[in-house]
Every structure is written in C-alpha cells, then in structure tokens.
Amino acid sequence: MTKLTHFDATGRARMVDVSAKDVSTRIAIASGEIHMQPETLDHIQQGKLKKGDVLAVADVAAVMGAKKTPDLIPMCHPLMLSGIDVSFTELEDHCGLSVAVSVKCNGKTGVEMEALTAVSTALLTIYDMCKAVDKAMCLTNIQLEEKSGGKSGEWKRT
C-alpha cells in the first residue's frame, strides 16, 4: 500500500510540496446520482419548480464547486483550471439523475478533488432546489470514474 502523502513524519497534516513535479495535462472525471420521487423528476424536466431551471443552476454550481475546491478541502492546491464539462443523464434503473463532471488543467497536481467537489455541489444544488417537494431525495455513488496525467498516469474504474 502506498503511504499517505498528506502527513509528515510526525503524523501532522500538511499540504504536499509539488514544486519538483513536472507540469502535465491532468484530467479527472467524477460522477454521482440523486434519487427522487417520480413527481420530483417530472417537476425538474418540465421546469415546474418555483426556484427556476434546476439543471442550469446545478451546472453553474458544479463549475463554482470545482473552482472553490481549495477553499473547502484544506490540503488541496489552488489550481488554474482550463476546462470543466458538466452533463446530466436521467437514470434508467432508479428514478433520478446522474451527473458527470470532467475537469482539466495543465499543472503539477491532479484534479480529482475538483471533479468530486463539482459533482457533490451539483447534486446538493439539485437537492436544495427540490427539497420543498421531496425531502427524501438521496445523493449516492459519488465517485471518481477516471483520471489521467501526472506520475501515476491513467486510471479507470472497472
């Protein structure tokens, strides 16, 4: 097992020094789901919620979440992100939506946390905008799907 890099020799948390790493194109894709009542999904699809276009707002929230990741996760490096793509898909097996976010940068450290934060922020935004009609919504399966770049190279969920 690889040792944890966010702790020093005495066990204190630290931000990893990436100054000696090479700059490379880094991409991470994360996904997550929100399960809901059929009426809630219908309200989202037909634009019947008083707060507005849920998916448009969740799309912007995902971008903001990725950009604000180092403000939320203490040991994350501030990164100059070069691209963020957000997509929503209706779930076939459950009533709900899946969100996928791809984050890209040219840098010395990866963008996995930015992609995961973006997904989480999008899902939380959907919950916030729909909670008046469905408090039982469930956020689930927030996970890294794939990443590329850097010393560790490519990884894909199988």
Domain ranges of the chain: 24-149
Return the active site residues.
Answer: 128
CA distance 104 to 95: 30
Beta bridge partners of 148: 27
CA distance 31 to 84: 13
The larger pLDDT score, comparing residue 21 to residue 122, is at: 122
pLDDT classification of 137: cutoffs 50, 70, 90:
very high
CATH 2.10.60.10 fits 24-149, yes or no: no
Among residues 152, 147, 121, which one has the least CA distance to residue 59? 121
- Average confidence (pLDDT) over 66-85: 96
Its pTM stands at 0.93
The larger pLDDT score, comparing residue 51 to residue 32, is at: 32
- Average confidence (pLDDT) over 11-31: 90
- Average confidence (pLDDT) over 20-40: 96
